[in-house]
Amino acid sequence: MTQKIALVTGASRGLGSALAEQLALRGWHVVAVARTVGGLEDLDDRVKRAGLPGSGGLTLAPMDVTNDDAMRHLCRSIHDRWGGLGLWVHAAIHAAPLAPASHIDQKDWEKSLATNTRATGLMIPLVEPLLRAKGGTALFLDDPRAGQPFFGAYGATKAAQIALAQSWQVEAAKHGPRVLIATPAPMPTATRARFFPGEDRSRLADLQDEAARILASL
């Protein structure tokens, strides 16, 4: 049987890492992309420690989704090695510090645009042929913060990312690939801790449980 191949962008921490782990333990071979090498190595260690029969394994790809040449090379390499993708999970995000719209730091604004919006616009055309080749699915993770106080940089660029995904979803409805947009429950991630310091994290959804729930919806 041909192995199922998944690409997870933003796989070193948070929900992206949990989804990559769950996929690998379910028999997918996961191409795990992130800037943080240590986070990718931790992911690899967790999958190896689980040692479940039938685990799919990982290909660690420490690179930045905002690097156009790196993303083009990555997608070409996936095509040459496997011929396509069964799944793309786009979890890469830059969470700028909360600030009034009139006080947004310009470096954070540029990084938010590059990571949350521009990279998505680059990746969709690169990944679509890979998904079509294998009848695959693209999965985006929504976090609707647009218009909320102090979420200007994050909320606007995340909303733009999801708007791109929604347009692609409608455009691809007849001929594929399938495009899904999930809204995860609040989880104890580092991103949420920066947004809501002091929050009672015991009330938040478990990362692995939420990853399993989202994958079940596929």
pLDDT by 10s per residue, the chain, length 218: 478 999 999 999 999 999 999 999 999 999 999 999 999 999 999 999 987 776 779 999 999 999 999 999 999 999 999 999 999 999 999 999 999 999 999 999 999 999 999 999 999 999 999 999 999 999 999 999 999 999 999 999 999 999 999 999 999 999 999 999 999 999 999 999 999 999 999 999 999 999 999 999 88
> Other C-beta atoms within 10 Å of 99: how many?
16
CA atoms of 205 and 207, how far apart (whole Å)? 6
> Other C-beta atoms within 10 Å of 130: how many?
23
- Label residue 195 left, alpha or beta by phi (over 0 means left) and psi (-120 to 50 means alpha): alpha
Number of structural domains (the chain) is 1
The predicted model scores a pTM of 0.95
User: According to the model, what pLDDT value does residue 218 have?
Assistant: 87
User: According to the model, what pLDDT value does residue 56 have?
Assistant: 79
Task: Identify the CATH number of the domain in which residue 9 sits.
Answer: 3.40.50.720
What is the helix (H) or strand (E) element at residue 8, kind and residue range?
strand 5-9
User: According to the model, what pLDDT value does residue 13 have?
Assistant: 94
Residue 67 CB-density burial (10 A; 0-12 exposed, 13-18 middle, 19+ buried): middle
The one-letter amino acid code at 38 reads: G
User: According to the model, what pLDDT value does residue 90 have?
Assistant: 98
CA atoms of 128 and 178, how far apart (whole Å)? 10
User: According to the model, what pLDDT value does residue 31 have?
Assistant: 98
For the chain, first and last CA: distance in Å? 20
**Please, how many CA atoms are within 13 Å of residue 74, restricted to the half-sphere of its CB?**
27
Residue 181 CB-density burial (10 A; 0-12 exposed, 13-18 middle, 19+ buried): middle
Range of the domain at 33: 5-216
- pLDDT tens digits, one per residue of 51-83: 777 677 999 999 999 999 999 999 999 999 999
- pLDDT tens digits, one per residue of 153-174: 999 999 999 999 999 999 999 9
